Structures are given as structure tokens and as C-alpha cells.
Amino acid sequence: MTTTAAPVALTPRRGLAAARARHTAGRVLAALVRSVAIIVPVFLVATFVTFALRALSGLSPARIQLGEEATPEAIARVEAQWGLDRPFLVQYGDWLDGILHGQLGTSWANGADISTLIGLGLGVSLSVATLALLIGVVVGFMLGTVAALRSTTWIDRAITGFVTVISVMPAFVVGIVLVVVFAVGLHWFPSGGYVPAEQGVGPWLAHITLPAVALSFDVIADVARQLRAGLVAAYRENYVTGAVVRGLSPRRIFFGHVLRNGLGPTLATLGLKFPALVGASVVTEWIFGLQGFGRFANDAAQAGDVPAVQGVLVVSIVLVVSFNLIVNLVLARVTPAAQRGV
């Protein structure tokens, strides 16, 4: 925002700009401290719930390894091997210690290292989720801005209607429609599978475009709606009237005054969208045959592989929490009002 003041930056303004930069840095730091204070308990509670799942499920590695007709002694032996005969809290402590060191344990089903397995899938899922976020933010931003600038005209109504329609289409419905039209019908894109980016950016993009578009509809709708509402509200503020009276150009009013103040709710929504994207990947990866994070979660859950499921949940919690942290920091940097109440 110091850049918007730059054209009129006469000598006495320098000190002001520096003070403003210091102020901004302090704000971001305060937001960081506050966010961490919230995140630590959230993380502890979430991991505890995740770990308690095993005790609640009553599943045991013995059933997977030995089958249904194992003797009680054999079951006890296998459970002791996995350290499941120890007290619950000791197990939780060990497990949490492992997580903090990046070790998610080994799979009950095949003894493989879960961190490695998840790492393999995460590359696929994050490619898709990032592209989906990118599409969602860019398209949603354009739609929301145009709707706000042309509010109460037919353009606004058309955009609002379109946004309403796409917001109620679940990701897997969109995914199937996309497969039918663009893969089966037009043959523009492959209907499934994944090619790593190292083997060529073109094929990589072709394989992740359809799933990303399927996931992005929800983001587009939310960003467009929130941005439109925020911008329309910001245009009604007195400082905009003041800026118009001072004779500032519409472009400067939009970028300097309206956008900065109308952006807050949109960014806050983005923070909440990320869990939805991670969750929806379970379904879209199934549709598009991607061996990603969500597919791994589904397969592990259906196989009753508890440590793998726990690992998936922990990774998703970490992803979501860190994404929220970033959004909070951006929010603190962009809009001062975000300081009041997180």
C-alpha cells in the first residue's frame, strides 16, 4: 500500500511511509502470535481425536495380517509386536513424538512407511489443489469484480445467477460432466491418470486440468460472491465518496480504497475453502483415477489400515492449519480491520 502513496511521495512523506511499514510489520507479527496461540490447542485436540479413532474402532493389525480365524495368542503376539498392549496415553505420546519428527509410522497392511506413501500421493493432490485454487481465485476475482463494478445491471444479475448455479453443483457431479464432455465426447483431455511434471509440463497440465476445474467451481462461486458483497459495501463508504470528491481517478479509487477494504471476507473464505478442497479430493481423485492423497485415504480407510488413515488425517490437519495461518497473515497485512477478532 506504500506503493499507492508513491506518486505523491514528497520528502516529508518518507518518514510516514517508514512508520507505516513498521506498523504493518508489527501487525503481521501480532497476527502470527495470535494465530499460533489458537493453532497449538487445535492441533493437539485434532491429533488426539485422530489417535483415539483406533481405540474406538476396535480394529487390530492382527485381523489384517492373520485373517478372521486367528487364535487369541497369535492376536496378542501381533498386537504386542505393534506395541498396542501398552497404556493408551503412552501410545499416544509415542505417536505424537513420531509425528513431530515427521514419522507417521508403518502401514498395517504392508509394513510400508506411511510418510513415504503419503508423500507420493501428496504431489498429485497438491498439484490439483493448487491449480484449482488458482483457477478459482482468478476466475472468481474477475467475476466478483465485474459484478460489483456493474452492480444492479443485467451483467451483475447474469454473473450472480451463474455463480449460484455452479455453487450448488457438487465436485463429483461437475467431475463426471467434465469427463463426459471433454474426455469422452470431445477427446480434448485424457479422462484419467497422472503424469508427473518431470515428464513434461504439457501432459502434466492436461492430466490435472479437468480435476482442478471440477474442484475449482466451489472456490469460484465463493470468491465471486464474497468479493462482490465486499466491494459493493466498500463502495458505499464515506471515504470513497471523499475520494471521488477529491477527484481521484476511478482506477485509483478501486485499487487504493475499495479493493483493500473489500478484500477481507474473501480472503477469510479462502482459508475455509482449503479443507473443502482437501476433502473433495477423495471423490475427484476417484473419478479421474489419480493415485493421490484422497485416493490413498479412501483405500486405507476401506482396508481398515488405521495408522495410514491416521497419517492421512494428521497431514490434512497440518495442511489446513498452515494454510489458515498464511491466510491470517495475509489478512493482517492487507486489511487492518482483520485484527479485531480472529
Decide whether 18 or 176 has the Cβ nearer to other proteins. Answer: 176
- Which residues fall within 8 angstroms of residue 284, CB to CB, at 6 or more apart? 128, 171, 172, 175, 211, 214, 215, 290, 294
Q: Report the nearest approach of other proteins to the CB of residue 316 (Å).
A: 5
Q: Report the nearest approach of other proteins to the CB of residue 209 (Å).
A: 18
Decide whether 17 or 330 has the Cβ nearer to other proteins. Answer: 330
3-state secondary structure of 109: coil
Decide whether 24 or 298 has the Cβ nearer to other proteins. Answer: 298
Is residue 8 within 8 Å of 309, Cβ to Cβ? no
Q: Report the nearest approach of other proteins to the CB of residue 175 (Å).
A: 9
Q: Report the nearest approach of other proteins to the CB of residue 4 (Å).
A: 25
Show the cell assigned to 139: 476466475
Decide whether 1 or 240 has the Cβ nearer to other proteins. Answer: 240
Decide whether 3 or 241 has the Cβ nearer to other proteins. Answer: 241
Q: Which residue has the cell 501432459?
A: 203
Angstrom distance (rounded) from CA 35 to CA 324: 9
Show the cell assigned to 74: 497369535
CB-hemisphere CA count at 13 Å for 125?
Answer: 29
Q: Report the nearest approach of other proteins to the CB of residue 7 (Å).
A: 30
User: CA dist 6 to 187, 246, 282, Å?
Assistant: 51, 18, 47
Decide whether 196 or 250 has the Cβ nearer to other proteins. Answer: 250
Decide whether 18 or 165 has the Cβ nearer to other proteins. Answer: 165
User: CA dist 333 to 33, 37, 219, 222, Å?
Assistant: 14, 19, 22, 22
DSSP state of 191: S
Closest CA to 144 of 299, 265, 256: 265
Decide whether 27 or 273 has the Cβ nearer to other proteins. Answer: 273
Q: Report the nearest approach of other proteins to the CB of residue 178 (Å).
A: 11
Angstrom distance (rounded) from CA 75 to CA 79: 6
9 — phi, psi (to 5°)? Answer: -75, 85
Q: Report the nearest approach of other proteins to the CB of residue 146 (Å).
A: 17
Q: Report the nearest approach of other proteins to the CB of residue 221 (Å).
A: 10
Q: Which residues bind other proteins (CB under 8 A)?
A: 38, 41-42, 45-46, 49, 53-54, 56-57, 59, 152, 164-165, 167-170, 172-173, 176-177, 179-180, 184-185, 191, 233, 236, 272, 275-276, 278-280, 282-283, 286-287, 294, 297-298, 301-302, 304, 306, 309, 312-313, 316-317, 320-321, 324
**Cα 135 vs. chain centroid, distance in angstroms?**
13
Provide the residue type at 122 as one letter.
L
Decide whether 128 or 179 has the Cβ nearer to other proteins. Answer: 179
Closest CA to 289 of 199, 158, 189: 189
Is residue 128 within 8 Å of 215, Cβ to Cβ? yes
Q: Report the nearest approach of other proteins to the CB of residue 323 (Å).
A: 10
